[in-house]
Chains A and B, each alone.
Chain A
Amino acid sequence: MEIAVASGKGGTGKTLVATCLARILAEYNPILIDADVEEPNAGLVIPHRVIDTKPAFRPVPEVDMKSCTLCGKCAELCRFNALVVLPSEVMVFTELCHSCGLCAYICPENAINEVNHKIGVVEESDLLSGGQLITGRLLVGEVQSPPLIKAARATRRQDSEYRLVDCPPGTTCPAIESIRDSDFCLLVTEPSLFGAHDLELSIAATKLLDIRTGIIINRWQGDDCDVGIIAREQDIPILERIPYSLELAKSYAKGENPLTVMPELQVILENVIKSVKERVA
């Protein structure tokens, strides 16, 4: 079973939930995937040992000027304006390219080849609590993260009954690439207008992706705020509420085990796992 831990708004507690779920499911040797490749941070809060680091690539066009007739078809058809045909050369803007392969496909002279462009690494680690941590790490300056997220999600040292994806925030391509094809999406939010607003966007995305979804309200202080209204309107269950705790935040920031600091968190997340299992079955 693959559970995506996502959120619209950033900083709501995705990594807290994902890493604690990995600790609770330790006996099953879960695979925790840090798909927030622009700033992967799961490894900062869960003890692990790095075993291997592999480069990740994406294809980008390379133009063979010996065959190119400067016909301009590639530039005309590129949706992202990543190629520009000048009177005597073709300029390729790798950072604009979305690796769709259309230019290479349509080139009448077969002058365009797709070559590998390194975008980051996939780090394979053993979790000291049990299981694996797979971390995607985007190179500084790279802007296309979905191919790296795809590579991270496809990486495993051995299979496990439980796969947990710590997703990037938002509802743009990186978030979609992290959530798609999961069995369940946990949307972590906070009881604020901002949290509720972005939650609604995330629910629209998981509905579009046709993925079962449940809500966890983090930093709860006795009131669901607008999150309750959105959940009712959208018919998405609020699975659990994690109480606000300054003590938890402080110790979490020091890298301590949140389940030790807040024992009720263990119960809350065990309930989440139970609810998810019931809903996926």
Chain B
Amino acid sequence: MKNIAICSSEDKAEAMVDGRFGRCSYFMVWNPESSDFKSLKNTGIDAAHGAGTGAAQVLLQNNVGVVLTSRVGPKAFQVLNSAGIKIFQGQDNISVQALLGKYLDQQLQELKQPNN
């Protein structure tokens, strides 16, 4: 089973989500087999360019199959799409944990094109 990554403002599951894919502070990566969260610091946050492609590369290396985010740019979308990682449209003003719950309840729509 592939992991699920959620863009987060802090490195804990109770934290509020961060709507931006490439420039979120952390990725909270949820493992569906162990039901555990692990946090990944988004090192590309301060990149002048290429934050999105850099973040996508990090998720690829962490066995991520699904990303929950509000906004994703064209380059990151191209990488995620080519790698077979599905993107689901997140929400703002919600915790990481709650957004994951909505995804598991199949309340989120799959993003079929970049929206940022």
**Is B one of A's binding partners?**
yes
Interface residues in chain A, defined as those with a beta carbon under 8 Å from any beta carbon in chain B: 72, 75, 78, 80-82, 84-87, 89, 91, 93, 96
Q: Is A81 in contact with B82, judged by CB distance below 8 angstroms? A: no
Closest 5 CB pairs of A and B: A81-B50, A81-B54, A81-B53, A96-B50, A86-B83
CB closest residue in chain A, given B54:
A81
Which residues on the B side are within 8 Å of A91 (C-beta)? 53, 78-79, 82
CA distance A78 to B50 in the complex (A): 10
Residues on B lying within 8 angstroms of A by beta carbon are: 44, 47-54, 56-57, 60-61, 75, 78-79, 82-83
- B interface, over-half SS: helix
CA distance A82 to B51 in the complex (A): 10
From B47, B52, B57, B78, contact of A85 by CB (8 A):
B57
Knowing A81-B44, A86-B60, the reply to whether A93 touches B53 (Cβ < 8 A) is: yes
26 A-B residue contacts at CB 8 Å?
Answer: A72-B61, A78-B50, A80-B47, A80-B48, A81-B47, A81-B49, A81-B50, A81-B51, A81-B52, A81-B54, A81-B57, A82-B50, A82-B53, A84-B53, A84-B57, A84-B60, A85-B60, A86-B79, A86-B82, A86-B83, A89-B82, A91-B78, A91-B79, A93-B53, A93-B75, A96-B53
- What A residues does B61 contact at CB under 8 A? 72
Measured CB to CB, the nearest residue on chain A to B78 is A91
Chain A residues with CB under 8 A of B57: 75, 81, 84-85
Which of chain B's residues have a CB closer than 8 A to the CB of A85?
Answer: 57, 60
A84 and B56 contacting across the interface, CB-CB below 8 Å:
yes
* CB-defined contacts of B54 to chain A, threshold 8 Å: 81
* Docked complex Cα distance between A89 and B84 (Å): 12
